[in-house]
Amino acid sequence: METTYYDHGTPAERWERAQAFFAAKDYAGAARVLAALVEEVPEQTGPRLLLARAYYHSAQLRRAEGQLRTIVERDPVEHYARLMLGRTLERQSRHEEAERHLRIAAALTGDLPQGRSDLPKDRSDLPQGRGDVRRH
């Protein structure tokens, strides 16, 4: 097999090369390096997440979705993968499906949206502390 610039070097060198391509906004170049790297070290989240981001930024949304779903299946509390999965689904006009992942991402980071319509506006009837639980 012929070695090209994209797959030359150790995994650490290729990781650095992929990050350089990504930083230079050469998302297709980064994806080329990362796709091979992810095959070599499939258990590592970092390269797979950067591959998903490269796919996302180069509008390869189905590929991005596939990588993100793999991460979320392995690590359901990986909040950034959840957020990216939600955004990727939104870009594919799959809003209902996206909403679930965006809500989970927000819950994992504690970044719940303000002004939610499903919460009571007047909180005076909510328990204020441990000793203030009202029974009906």
Of 111, 48, 109, 57, residue with least CA distance to 88: 57
How many degrees, rounded to 5, is the angle at CA 12 between CA 85 and CA 25?
50
pLDDT at 106: 93
68 phi and psi, to 5 degrees? -70, -40
pTM: 0.78
- For residue range 93-130, list pLDDT tens digits in order: 999 999 999 999 999 988 766 544 454 444 444 444 44
pLDDT at 58: 96
Q: Indicate whether 2 pLDDT > 80.
A: no
- For residue range 5-58, list pLDDT tens digits in order: 777 889 999 999 999 999 999 999 999 999 999 999 999 999 999 999 999 999
User: Taking a C-beta distance cutoff of 8 angstroms, is the pair 72, 85 a contact?
Assistant: yes
